Amino acid sequence: MEQHGQDGRRGGAARVAAILRDDIAYRRLRPGDRLPSTRQLVHAHGVAMATASRAVAMLRDEGLVVTRPGSGTTVRPLPTRPATARPSRGNARAEVVERAVAIADREGLHAVTMRRLAGELGMAPMSLYRHVAGREDLERLMLRAVFVASPLPSPPPESPRERLLGVYRLQWRLYRRHRWLATLTGVTRPPLVPEAMSHTERALGALADLGLPLAERGGVAIALTALVRGLALSVAEEVEAEHESRQRNGQWWSLVDPEITALLATGRFPQLAALAGAVPTTDADYLDDVVESALTTLVDGLAGTYPHPEPSAP
């Protein structure tokens, strides 16, 4: 997490990168379009030049933009192939899944259709069904691909506290990187894919080493999972709301500000009134701090509540 920098705001680079990432995902910036210059970003977002440069570097590291001398920084186009090209039988499924994940990352899960995939891969739509059984099978394979690409650390940390925090910190990073992911990872009906199940397995082992009785481990694991996923869903819903309304979050709040001010002025909500303006509660990057604070508070509370048995094998 970026600390307070020259612009005086925590997470300034991540905040600007998130805004640009949304512009790319929802086609406000299209493949080949030039990114705003760092000077334009400074004026638009009230950040320092170094912060704007870091935001662009973050997108470049993620492969979303490319910088060429003399041409500036442009949105990287999705790779295309001639209509006559066909993926080989050995890697056709992997190519289908990789392309589906790329589309979902940029445009949302709703943009992933068999017809769209077939067109981008130069295949007949019906031929895709030789590689994936249908929509449900495709989404399961997308889930597996995301978890495989970002595995849990091996060997795991010796500390059960760090093992437990590591699971949910990684999940939060995955949710932020793939904003559609939270819609496919239910809590009461979790996806039955080994790579996701390994997260639960490690969390349960860490809870055992923290001393939680067997009967309580499942509930705590569900609560921690729901905490992270619930906040991720709120970010995804906010992005979708901005896309549908064509209003940024700040614009929406400015429209409802008179009504909020009037409600707070009644004196019925003193705690909300004290909080108003104190924290950027609608800033997606602020949620990074919320997640970290909530996880460490809960995990440290668990660690201090139960006597620790001898650690079991992770």
What confidence tens digit (pLDDT) does each residue in 230-252 have?
988 887 776 666 666 666 666 66
Contacts 24+ apart (CB under 8 A), 253-259: 253/282
CA distance 140 to 156: 26
**Model pTM above 0.85:** no
Q: Is 205 exposed, middle or buried (0-12, 13-18, 19+ CB in 10 A)?
A: buried
CA distance 29 to 41: 14
Cβ-Cβ contacts under 8 Å for 179 (sequence gap 6 or more): 25, 105, 108, 232, 235, 236, 239
Q: List domains and CATH numbers for the chain.
A: 12-75 (1.10.10.10), 92-149 (1.10.10.60), 160-305 (1.10.357.10)
CA distance 302 to 158: 17
Q: Is 233 exposed, middle or buried (0-12, 13-18, 19+ CB in 10 A)?
A: middle
CA distance 299 to 220: 10
What confidence tens digit (pLDDT) does each residue in 3-19 have?
344 444 445 788 788 78
The pLDDT, as a whole number, for residue 9 is: 40
What confidence tens digit (pLDDT) does each residue in 53-109 have?
888 888 887 677 888 876 788 888 754 444 444 444 447 888 999 999 999 998 888
CA distance 14 to 56: 10
Structure tokens at 242: 């901005």
Choose the most confident range, by mean pLDDT, from 88-102, 156-170, 267-281: 156-170
